[in-house]
Structure 1
Amino acid sequence: MRLRISILSSHVRSLSSSSLSWVSPLRYADKKPDPPSESSSSSLEARRKNKFITHVAAINLIKCERDPERALDVFNKVSEQKGFNHNNDTYSVVLDKLARCKKFRAVDAILHRMKYDTCKIHEGVFLNLMKHFSRFSLHEKVVEMFYMIEPIAREKPSLNAISTCLNLLVDSGKVDLAREILLHAKQRLRLQPNTCIFNILVKHHCKNGDVCSAFEVVEEMKRSRVSYPNLITYSTLMGGLCAERRFKEAMELFEEMISKEQLLPDSLTYNVLINGFCQAGEVDRARSIIDFMKNNGCNPNLYNYSALMNGFSREGRVQEAKQIFDELKNVGLKPDTVWYTTLMNCLCRNGQTDEAIDLLREMQETGCKPDALTYNVVLRGLSREEGRLDEALEMLKQLTSEGVRLNKGSYRIVLNALCEKGELMKAVGLMGLMSERGFWPHHATWNEVVVRVCESGKADIGVRILTGFVEMGFRPEPGSWSVVVQSMCKDRKLLSVFELLDSLVS
């Protein structure tokens, strides 16, 4: 397949390098472009040498192109073949490529071209574009894509299209636009909202803290013939009640859902209650939910246990957090990186860094890969404990030699601790190590180091740090310059002062 794609790529490039002019979709006007002249068509046919690029091959070529402009070039060139017409899949793949790379003018041009194409276009193309535009906060374009479904796909938007559009707008807080879409669906499209659409409205009201309006939507759902509250509806309502600390009402709704509506809760529904109780500091009640689940035939999953362990960790109840961790392993669930990191953070905050390091070793032995955040938790624990900063420094050096990828925060944790403890020379050494590895200290930190080094009587070192960072393009604070100059004057190094002032002026 790679060989075939390579051959096809070279073929398309040969077409691109020809003298034949081709019409980019960016240049499309409101009418169809004029067809190429006969001489141009004949020249193109001669170059093709009977090598026809199929739809599947064209899709693969477009996907393989990293440069969106080259992908667009491929899209246009294959359409010049005799007998080739773009279909839904080729349009879909090029639009996805262009939207991901923020080539929105090109997207608009392609959409304009689609209006004149006779191939069948599916609404999925527009749903995908909605998601891309929403990701880039182009909410007006999300609405525009919804309105384009009918003229281009030549069919009314489905309930799925309405749900997708509403969900994106509501999640972005664009309620006015969501209302516009819903009104259009009711009046123009004659579509009745289904349970999914109602659930989006329930979620919106709960997110805004307006649970009363959410309950009004649910009452309307019950009166409707085409929708009825389901497990997601009740889970969302319970989450809204828990967010307002209305736990008694949440539990009453939970019981009503089971007894009156005959809806059996699943792990997600239980997790809403567990999270709600944990975030409100009611961890023991959250623990009772886990016990209730097991007694009623619903096995807790990784997310249920994770929510509970996070609750105990936030409360500083290390022993209970460790018990949940052990229980998780005993029931056959495998802890992931987030689980280990959460428990290690709880241990380090309570001064049990050695246990956290043991947990790190266990994590590595079981094949669970720690990330930079995991190591930062341990580094922070070592930096907090008295007399263990050298261990933190050694860990920084060792991890890098072992190929572990740390982040800027890893170095800053130790650097800030060294500055707080007055270990200025070690801080200077660490700053040098950071610059070698492409990590720069925060400007406030290195300014502070310069000042404190000079105040400790080591003006020469302060000057070297200052000038070094100036050469890298950093701008020192005026106070840092002032302290360095005063320190140099005290040491009667006037020549160095003048050189330094020259640097300041330049």
Structure 2
Amino acid sequence: MVPWISTHQYIRANPPTESLAEIPKKSKYISHESAIKLIKREKDPHRVLKLFKMVANQKGFNHNHSTYAVTLHKLACLKEFEHVDSVLHQMTYETCRFHESIFINLMAHFSKSSLHNRVVEMFNAIQPIVREKPSLKAISTCLNLLVDSNQIGLARSFLLHTKTTLGLHPNTCILNILVKHHCKNGNLESAFDVVKEMKLSDASYPNLITYSTLMDGLCEKGRLEEAINLFEEMVSKEKIIPDALTYNILINGFCRGGKVDRAIKIVDFMKKNGCNPNVFNYSTLMNGFCKEGNLLEAKRVFIEMKDEGLHLDKIGYTTFINCLCRAGEIDEAIGFLKEMEEKDHITCNIILVGLCKYDRTYEALEMLQRLAYEDVYLDKCSYRIVLNSLCKLGDLQKATGLVGVMASRGFLPHFATSNELLVGLCEGGSVVDAAMVLAVLVQMRFNPEPRVWSRLVEVMCRERRLLATFELVDMLTKDGVN
């Protein structure tokens, strides 16, 4: 029989060569990939910096482009720009190779924060740290951010700097950004001045995008004849072949200008010159006919689209369904809705509006209920369209039921509709329903007009519902209604 030996006796008889505290714990080495994952997960800027410094203290570890990139991106997202500057300063002492993408990303962050001078600073930091001249992509990104922020003076001085200091000459893509900006602001004369400068160099000579942008600017101003003349100059003189997008600018311009007959000629010209109209071209033309109230021609264009073997997408169907609904052909519109492979709330809302407009509100309500079970996403507008129509009809019972459905799906009715529904219920003697509706709406942060809830309290007091009145007042004051 083996004698029992206590733990204390065993340890005294066999003392350990070293204590547990003295046994070194094997530390886990954090690789670059692991460091990147850890930094990406962090939401606290101080912990981001702590992680960044901690991994750098590991033996044999040196930060690379990727760890710097993710750290700077994270700090910039958190708007910790002082910390961004300290990390950038550290980069100047690193020997690893960096890519300009870090600075392009930071340009976007500074632009979003309206720190426009910092956008240029990030561009200027590329050459000292990356040790290469910035690419044309970096120039176009910086210029585009400045132009979109309406920093035209800064944009022009930036371009001058790239020419004189860096010896970088802007190409067509870069100068197209300036053309786009001037056209967007309606300053077409300045846009044409830029194009004159572009023609002085082969590297920046105007291309299809340049002319398309100018034509779009002219069409926006209603200068359609000038747009056509520019189109002819582009084709005959510059030998630039237009694409479907360029044609669509002219088609849209003439349709909006009430000259659909000219738009048809553009489409015919497209076909004769080997550029087959696409869904967008036909949809634009259909819209033009719809605005004129010419449903017959809109149908002809729709049928032609199908005959051409074009795969009708949501844009094509939605445009045509909108034409039908405007003309009161609701049943036909519903028929085409059933043809659609992917139904969306925009198309469905068009039909709901059409049904309500032509006194078919109950059909709209039925459609609303049915679509919810057919995997069609409906937005708050879908429910508001029908609710507004029910209130106008005075069917407060169905309106009350629909408010309950909306609340269960997180949709709040229009402010005015909610107030009118509550007043209508009060005046119709449905005080209990009014109180119930108000309770539901207040939970969704609805703040009724003072006249509405004071009217409700008045009616409830008159009907001697004192307890319910006190509860209602308590609920309203507790939720900050005054």
Give the TM bin, normalised by the shorter chain: 0.7 to 0.9
Structure 2 counterpart of 1:24: none
CA distance in 2, matches of 1:88, 1:156: 17
- What's the RMSD between the two structures over aligned residues? 3.0
Give the direction of change, closer, same or farther, for the CA distance of 1:144–1:298 in structure 2 (3 Å limit).
same
Q: 2:369 aligns with which of 390, 397, 407?
A: 397
Check the 8 A contact 1:163/1:196 in 2, yes or no: yes
Counterparts in 2 of 1:331 and 1:219: CA distance versus 1, 3 Å: same
Tell me the TM-score normalized by structure 1.
0.80
Residue by residue over 1:1-57, the C-alpha shift from the partner in whole angstroms, topping out at 9 and shown as x without a partner, is xxxxxxxxxxxxxxxxxxxxxxxxxxxxxxxxxxxxxxxxxx999403xx673x556
Conserved? CA contact 1:459–1:487, under 8 Å: yes
What is the CA–CA distance in structure 2 between the aligned matches of 1:93 and 1:226, rounded to whole Å? 35
Structure 1 residues 473 and 128: CA distance shift in structure 2, 3 A: closer
Aligned to 1:463: 435
Offset, 1:272: 2.1
Moved more, 348-357 or 106-115: 106-115
Q: Is the 8 A contact 2:97 2:130 kept in 1?
A: yes
Q: For each residue in 1:226-252, what CA deviation from the matched residue of structure 2 results, as whole angstroms up to 9, or x when unmatched?
A: 422222222222222222222222211
* Count of aligned pairs: 455
Instruction: Give the share of equivalent positions with the same residue, in percent.
Output: 57
Deviations 1:251-297 (A, max 9, x none): 11211122222222222322222222223222221221111011011
Note the residue ranges of structure 2 that are not aligned, 5 or more in a row.
1-22
Match status 1:153 vs 2:133: no
| 1:412 CA drift (Å) | 0.8
Change in Cα spacing, 1:85 to 1:45, as seen in structure 2 (3 Å) is: farther
Aligned to 2:7: none
Q: Among 391, 397, 406, which residue is 1:434 paired with?
A: 406
Aligned residue for 1:223, secondary structure, equals coil
2:91 to 103, 114, 117: 114
- Structure 1 counterpart of 2:106, from 129, 133, 138: 129
Residue 260 (structure 1) aligns with? 237
Q: CA deviation at 1:361?
A: 1.0
Which residue in the other structure is 1:409 paired with?
381
3-state SS in 1 of match to 2:27: helix
**Superposed displacement of residue 494, structure 1:** 5.5
The equivalent of 2:61 in structure 1 is 84
Deviations 1:300-343 (A, max 9, x none): 23332333233333444333333333322322321222222222
The verdict on how the C-alpha distance between 1:323 and 1:145 changes in structure 2, with shifts beyond 3 A counting, is farther
Inter-CA distance 261–199: structure 2 relative to 1 (3 Å threshold): same
| Structure with bigger gyration radius | 2
8 Å CA contact 1:379, 1:414 repeated in 2 = yes
Q: What corresponds to 1:382 in structure 2?
A: 355
1:62–1:93 contact (8 Å) kept in structure 2? no
**Would you say the 8 A contact 1:62–1:75 is kept in 2?**
no
Tell me what 1:168 maps to: 145
Q: Distance in 2 between matches of 1:382 and 1:63?
A: 54
Q: Is the 8 A contact 2:318 2:347 kept in 1?
A: yes
CA distance in 2, matches of 1:44, 1:72: 27
Q: What is the CA deviation profile of residues 156-177 of structure 1, one whole-angstrom value per residue up to 9, with x for unaligned ones? A: 3233221221122212322222
Is 1:223 aligned with 2:196? no
Judge conservation of contact 2:407–2:441 (CA < 8 Å) in 1. Answer: no
Question: 1:316, 1:111 → 2: CA distance?
Answer: 61
Q: Is the 8 A contact 2:282 2:305 kept in 1?
A: yes
Alpha-carbon distance in 2 for matches of 1:389, 1:44? 78
CA drift of 1:96 comes to 4.2
Query: Quick one: distance in 1 between partners of 2:354 and 2:73?
Result: 45
The answer on whether the counterparts of 1:62 and 1:94 sit within 8 Å (CA) in structure 2 is no
The answer as to whether partners of 1:68 and 1:97 remain within 8 angstroms in 2 is no
- Structure 1 gaps of 5+ residues are 1-42
Do the aligned residues in 2 keep the contact of 1:241 with 1:250 (CA within 8 Å)?
yes
Using the size of structure 2 for normalisation, the TM-score is 0.84
